[in-house]
Structure 1
Amino acid sequence: MKNQTTITSVLLMSLSDDQKIIYVLFTVFLFMYLMTFLTNFLIILLVVTCAHLHTPMYFFLGNLAFLDMSYSSVTAPRILFDLRTQDWSISFPECIIQMFFVIYFGSSEVYLLSSMSYDRYIAICHPLHYSQVMSWGMCTQMVSLAWSSAFLAPIIYTLCLRRLTFCGPNFIQNIFCDLPHLLKLSCTDISINLLVFFIVGGFLGTAAFVTTFYPYVRIFSTVLKIRTRDGKRKAFSTCTSHLTVVFTFYASITFIYFVPNKSNLLTLNQVATVIYALITPLLNPLIYSLRSKDLKAALQKALHIHVLIPRSCA
């Protein structure tokens, strides 16, 4: 049956009613968004222009930076607009579009992180075959698969929404539109949608989770076999940045999608949502930049600084 939508707009959750707090939040979130855009753009620029960074690991990192820029641009500008206008309402079609891209970019990051796990697995467990296995053709195929396959889930979820009628209430307890909150607005049976959500999300999520963390089982096994402590440290240091990003990403997802929205847990859900929407895209480039000597060297050459980092990316 064709969807007969009676809701014309959706009211998002206000972060505060205190004008002073709202002003502080707007300032902080604006700074975070600008820093997210700037740092991720800088990483992309360095990866493209610095020959020393033309490696599979930084190729994946450049794609992750572009992904973080895109994801933050789906949520942050709308949050800033709502804080500035104190409106907190969004049209229903715009809400559906935002939900689509929130799921798409979130799925893309999951698949890209699993590709980066495989890259670290080959680098540590099969270093002699690394250049042969992780060829540019292979890297391009993995990234293309991550970006393209991420369309599957949001397309299925969006099409399934067409069978529902949305007639209120039009309030969701979130600062941006997402599928679980939209389903609560339906006044028709959502059992089929929930079944599709758990089947598709469960299958794709489990596959991504396994392909992300299983390589680290093999990595840890290989590292433990290294006899020297310095050798273990050097081997493990190549994947600590990726592991930090992975744990931050999955922790925020767990709070958002698996912790119930009860009143005593609402604050935790709000914090997790802010982390997922605004902080994680900013943390990712900072985590890699702080731990990567190659990125520091590339930044040094780009800015012509020869004091703090005595290396060049040439």
Structure 2
Amino acid sequence: MIELVIDQRRKDLGGFEVGRVLPYAPRRMVGPFIFFDHMGPAEFPAGFPKSVDVRPHPHIGLSTLSYLFEGEMTHRDSTGVTQPIRPGEVNWMTAGRGITHSERFETLRAHGGRMDGIQTWIALPVADEETAPSFDHYAASELPAFEAPGLSARLIAGAAFGARSPVQTFSPLFYVHWTLAADAVAELPPEYSERAAYVAQGVVEVDGRQLHDGQMAVFAPGDAVTLRAVTPAVVMLLGGEPIGPRFIEWNFVASSKARLEQAKADWRAGRMKLPDADDKEFIPLPGDPAPPANPMS
């Protein structure tokens, strides 16, 4: 039933730690999900340095999905959007042929507080890789929610459990937030060929094996999966239908290496517009020196 268990790898992104789960060499994707980072959990004092912010940077060939358990951050992008995100809400950004964005923590910096959330990248089908960039925000109240004894759930994106999220996706997928009381039992149906569960908090048992926070279990296709909460737990369910292999380099995802090289050249040459509301700095291509001035403003 469990094909693989992936342990998060902690990475410091300049004063802010994330737990990276995907991509992972033995299993690069689960359905169209090609990147999975657990942001935090972390406690920030008021007045923490701006170096923690994620400066403007580019993407192609994917959609990003940001979802918070705690905290707040502000998204700014090259389509002209500025949008804060708070717990239970969804920021869905489609890069398509190219977008740039930043993520800032002004509210946390002003007041201090806790940050805990997940950011995923969802690879676009080949037919949609060069689609126009766009951004959508969804309030928590817009997302389907349901409850059962010892369980509450929110359908973040896609379709599952007889419900469909309003988040506009490009391929068959599901992404669900489960909150489980101790000893609660819940079932993940077999309707998608690729499925996984990430334990964000607590301990759960699957197929006689215990999984703790920071672990993702990837399941074999074809059978329903029963999870039991050993302790109170938060579990993220994800997966969908495969869309074919993808290449990934830095913040770029594509079905061809040539497209990755073009994106790198475009970023290096200043051909990708920065967010109007955040165009004073940017992250250079890895390995490139930091430029003395911003050529993209």
For normalisation by structure 2, the TM-score amounts to: 0.29
For normalisation by structure 1, the TM-score amounts to: 0.28
Identify the structure with the greater helix proportion.
1
Structure with the larger RCO, 1 or 2 (CA within 8 Å, 6+ apart) = 1
